[in-house]
Amino acid sequence: MRSRPIVSLLAASSAYALPELSLSKRDRHNNGATTHYARSVGLNKRADTVSSNIFDVESWSFGGAYYTNVSVGTPPQLQTVILDTGSSDLYFDSSSAETCQTSGPESCQGGTFDKTKSDTYNEFEASPAFNTSFGDGSTAVGPYGQDMIGIGDVVVSPVQFGLAEEVDTSTGYSIGLLGLGYSTNEAVSGTTDFYENLPEVLARSGEINSRLYSIYLNDADANTGTILFGGIDKTKYKGDLTTLNLIPAAFGDGQSTAIVNQFITTVTGASATVNGRTKELWSGGRDGVSAYSSNNALPVLLDTGSTAWSIPSSIFNNLILPQFPYVDRQGLCPCSHASSSDSLTLEFGGKVSIDIPARQFIVPVINSTTRESVPYSRSEDACAFLLVPTDPSSDGSLYEPIGDAILRSMYVVFDLDNGQVSIAQANVNSTDAPDIVTVAAGPTGVAEAVSGVSTAPSNTWSIAPEVPGATSAFSVVTAATPLGTATGVGAVPASAQVEGEEEGGSSTSSGEKGGKSKGAAAGRVSMGSMELNVLCGLAIWLVAFGCGVGLIV
């Protein structure tokens, strides 16, 4: 994924000082290296699906993020990792990392992996083969290793991953990461060094039919969503799925990748409903790569690793912000607006409209130290507005991430093999028993799995393939104790809980336990110990409000 500079959202009122809030997730990889590992193919298991619950821990990062639990090694060591469709590598923090020996605001909170305690760990390439940096200034360096990885009800081996033995994070806790993008975006030094990441491993092993998975983040106030590899859960969306072709990335210098290797689509129409009045913001946008030069379409990256929807500052200032007069110049508003009937409606690819209630993009600000709401006024708490202005990216890319603030209202099927996504309105807070169907490989897999799909013609752009020339034989076994089955606060590892909060949650013998409940609802923005960044946050917002002359009309 391209570099994502930190977008700071919070500054202080005269009465209440608020810290910097980082609202977009980072990823720019560099200097990574790995050597391709050739193996023989062995497909000896009927393709099925793999499911794992996902959850938000608002105290780990400003604005929150979505996580899942996995295990690594023999015996298994439980890890909590960020679920990220905007990057492609799997990595864990090492127990030997100096950062992980502390308990401060940059400590390792998602668990650590001790390679010396795994009977099956193999160091594939010594440090600094895994050498990754991010747009927020964070870095992770270490070896590439291979071991058994448990997710859902399966354990797969050998799976390659980075092991961060040197960790430097500048914006909060250090957490491992599960990248779900195309393997061609991995942190490697050359095109011959790509390796099979987890979606590709599951497909090559025969555990699922193709590189396909569905994501349901659920409501901002819900505790648990799901990721489903290889299938679709028909209870998690409303109406019918609509399939869209993904488009290649394009850059300001006129260069294009000419290949689909990211989840980029287009917002071709938008409207806002505030105080019962609906205002069309733009409509009739052109789909496809023509959106890059269109005045009424926005290319966007569907990125679960980003919290907010980042919008070019000129469009934000001229079209978005005027519809929400209660949002102040620091990106804050009274929390009463989160429970209002205000909403956004976005049209994707000229084919499917998604309604986004205000509670999905207006979320409470929580002090992660005191676990208390931050006052906005004498009678109201502060909420953050998760539509944020952004200036052009440093790499010149002409698309911006659309993150959890919007994706919570969407059910998305990510189909890497066919360069497509299928989208529907999320059925948030569903209490129905899952109704899961397996998706077959091939261009008609989604349409054959569920009825009513609005299909798209085959994508005519080149699509990033599986790792070229790889001949892989993976072992897949049923996990003795499935992971990702706990719900609500029970999904959060005990090590992630905050002392002094209400007891609750459920546990499993794997250690997937929620010893304490979260003091704030999922999706809330947390505030840590970064009080000195207040002025920086204010400065960035004021600059953003004054930047840009372009306007969608």
Show which residues are catalytic: 84, 303
- Tokens matching residue 367: 């002090």
Q: At 114, phi and psi to the nearest 5?
A: -100, 100
Residue 204 · residue 470 · CB < 8 Å? yes
Residue 99 · residue 93 · CB < 8 Å? yes
Residue 497 · residue 60 · CB < 8 Å? no
Q: CA 88 to CA 349: how far, in whole Å? A: 24
User: What is the DSSP code string of 460-528?
Assistant: -SEE--SSTT-----EEEE-SS-SS---GGGGS-GGGPPTTSPB-----TTS----B--SS-TT-EEE-
Residue 122 · residue 145 · CB < 8 Å? yes
Q: CA 65 to CA 450: how far, in whole Å? A: 30
3-class state of residue 309 by DSSP: strand
Q: How many CA atoms lie within 13 A of 29 on its CB side?
A: 25
Burial 443-480 (b: 16+ CB within 10 A, else e): bebbbebbeebbebeebebebbbbbeebebebebeebe
Listed in order, strand segments (DSSP E) in 75-200 are 77-84, 90-93, 122-133, 139-151, 154-164, 166-168, 176-179
Residue 68's closest CA among 187, 175, 145? 175
CA 413, 416, 422: angle at the middle one, nearest 5?
Answer: 25
Place of tokens 């990392």: 97
Q: CA 83 to CA 140: how far, in whole Å? A: 17
Residue 91 · residue 166 · CB < 8 Å? no
Q: CA 506 to CA 514: how far, in whole Å? A: 6
- Greatest pairwise CA separation for the chain in angstroms: 66
CA end-to-end span of the chain = 30
Residue 219's closest CA among 544, 542, 523? 523
